[in-house]
């Protein structure tokens, strides 16, 4: 396998998405295109470079990134390239994104390293119905008894994620604008469809140093290779909506979407929290919208003779 096809195994790519560990819809050697190229804030991206940035290597997808506090009661417990966030409350904890099923023990270990108990997870949320973000839901539910909540528009795709034949747990179906509250923390579910039908961006307020900060857990905004009219109308609404969300702390379901590695390297006691980064709240939307529009323009071109 060459590097690009290794990156794609089990992950969502521009042309297709594997919906579970068993669904191998991607032919070997067929990678995302290296065009169109777009330049945003001085950096050039192609579909291939974005996929490489998001997924890294197989090892990056499965190796724990140093678990750390992001802000307030929010902690990072994911791998180098697949985000998983723990939100700690006095009445139990919330996990956003179980990632791949094989990563669940790794996430459990990161939770323990931070001094929390995996069994205290009462609610399991997610950003979208792709295996690299929510394949592990059934195992997290088995180990914690957490309530699993899914945006209505993602329910069919979520039900198709059944590693080892296990049914995907869904305890509550959510709708745009619904809120989820536990122990004084409220998360709001925003439907930001396009990447999947029920792609969900979560927002909450975190307290640090006597101030409130608006935190945005963004869903992927990466467009599929072929944009249908239905997907086009989803993205038209979504790009506008994500830019309107109050935001001080941008986060994403892949660490590269918010430059986690560079920010984490700047974490220092007594220094400003690098995850507070309002100036870059729309950077990922800017990159993905530029790529989306460039892709649409190519799609509209007549086929070359
Ligand atoms: Zn995805």
Q: How far is the CA of 24 from the centre of ligand 1 (A)?
A: 15
Percent of the chain having pLDDT more than 90?
A: 84
Indicate if the pLDDT at residue 25 is higher than 60: no
Percent of the chain having pLDDT more than 70?
A: 89
Q: What values do phi and psi take at 46, rounded to 5?
A: -130, 165
Q: How far is the CA of 43 from the centre of ligand 1 (A)?
A: 23
- What are the tens digits of pLDDT across the range 207-232? 999 999 999 999 999 998 889 999 99
- What are the tens digits of pLDDT across the range 151-185? 999 999 999 999 999 999 999 999 999 999 999 99
Q: How far is the CA of 147 from the centre of ligand 1 (A)?
A: 22
The string of DSSP codes covering 104-144 is HHHHHHHHHHTT--GGGEEEEE-S-SSHHHHTTHHHHHHHH
Question: Binning pLDDT at 50, 70 and 90, where does residue 16 land?
Answer: very low
Instruction: Tell me if 132 sits within 8 A of 252, measured CB to CB.
Output: no
The total of other beta-carbon atoms located within 10 Å of residue 179's CB is: 11
Query: What's CA 97's distance to the chain center, in Å?
Result: 7
* Confidence (pTM): 0.90
CA quadruple 269, 274, 276, 277: dihedral, nearest 10: 160
Cβ contacts of 192 within 8 Å, gap of 6 or more = 199, 200, 201, 218, 219, 221, 238, 241, 242
| Both tokens assigned to 88 | 């700690």
Q: CA 39 to CA 41: how far, in whole Å?
A: 7
Q: How far is the CA of 157 from the centre of ligand 1 (A)?
A: 11
Q: How far is the CA of 278 from the centre of ligand 1 (A)?
A: 24
- How high does pLDDT run on average in the chain? 91
Indicate if the pLDDT at residue 238 is higher than 90: yes
Q: What pLDDT score was predicted for residue 18?
A: 37
Q: Which residue has the tokens 């999947």?
A: 196
- What are the tens digits of pLDDT across the range 128-139? 999 999 999 999
Q: How far is the CA of 166 from the centre of ligand 1 (A)?
A: 21
Q: How far is the CA of 304 from the centre of ligand 1 (A)?
A: 30
Q: What pLDDT score was predicted for residue 81?
A: 98
Q: What pLDDT score was predicted for residue 305?
A: 59
Indicate if the pLDDT at residue 30 is higher than 70: no
Q: How far is the CA of 130 from the centre of ligand 1 (A)?
A: 5
Find the distance separating the first CA and the last CA of the chain, reported in whole Å.
Answer: 32
Q: How far is the CA of 14 from the centre of ligand 1 (A)?
A: 9
Cβ contacts of 196 within 8 Å, gap of 6 or more = 128, 129, 130, 153, 154, 157, 219
DSSP state of 258: G
Indicate if the pLDDT at residue 20 is higher than 50: no
- What are the tens digits of pLDDT across the range 95-143? 999 999 999 999 999 999 999 999 999 999 999 999 999 999 999 999 9
Cβ contacts of 188 within 8 Å, gap of 6 or more = 177, 178, 179, 180, 202, 203, 204
Indicate if the pLDDT at residue 5 is higher than 50: no
Q: How far is the CA of 240 from the centre of ligand 1 (A)?
A: 20
Helix (H, G, I), strand (E, B) or coil at 304: coil
- What are the tens digits of pLDDT across the range 240-299? 999 999 999 999 999 999 999 999 999 998 899 999 999 999 999 999 999 999 999 988
Q: How far is the CA of 220 from the centre of ligand 1 (A)?
A: 6
Q: How far is the CA of 114 from the centre of ligand 1 (A)?
A: 28
């Amino acid at each position: 396998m060459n590097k690009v096809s290794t990156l794609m195994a089990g992950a969502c790519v521009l042309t297709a998405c594997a919906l579970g560990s068993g669904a191998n819809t991607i032919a070997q050697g067929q990678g995302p295109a290296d065009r169109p190229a777009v330049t945003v804030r001085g950096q050039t991206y192609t579909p291939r470079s974005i996929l490489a940035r998001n997924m890294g290597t197989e090892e990056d997808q499965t190796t724990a990134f140093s678990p750390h506090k992001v802000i307030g009661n929010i902690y990072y417990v994911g791998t180098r390239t697949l985000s998983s966030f723990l939100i700690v409350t006095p009445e139990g904890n919330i996990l956003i994104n179980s990632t791949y099923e094989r990563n669940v023990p790794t996430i459990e270990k990161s939770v323990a390293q931070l001094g929390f108990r995996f069994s205290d997870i009462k609610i399991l949320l997610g950003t979208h119905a792709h295996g690299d973000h929510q394949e592990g839901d059934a195992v997290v539910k088995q180990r914690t008894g957490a309530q699993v909540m899914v945006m209505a528009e993602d329910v069919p795709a979520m039900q198709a994620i059944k590693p080892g034949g296990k049914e995907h747990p869904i305890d509550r179906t959510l709708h745009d604008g619904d809120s989820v509250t536990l122990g004084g923390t409220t998360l709001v579910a925003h439907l930001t469809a396009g990447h999947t039908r029920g792609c969900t961006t979560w927002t909450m307020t975190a307290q640090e140093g006597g101030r409130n900060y608006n935190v945005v857990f963004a869903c992927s905004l990466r467009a599929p290779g072929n944009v249908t009219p239905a997907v086009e109308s989803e993205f038209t609404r979504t790009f506008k909506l994500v830019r309107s969300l109050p935001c001080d702390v941008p986060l994403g379901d892949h660490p590269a979407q918010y430059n986690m590695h560079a920010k984490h390297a700047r974490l220092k006691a007594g220094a400003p929290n690098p995850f507070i980064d309002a100036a870059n709240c729309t950077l990922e939307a800017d990159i993905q919208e530029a790529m989306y529009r460039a892709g649409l323009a190519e799609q509209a071109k007549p086929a070359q003779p």
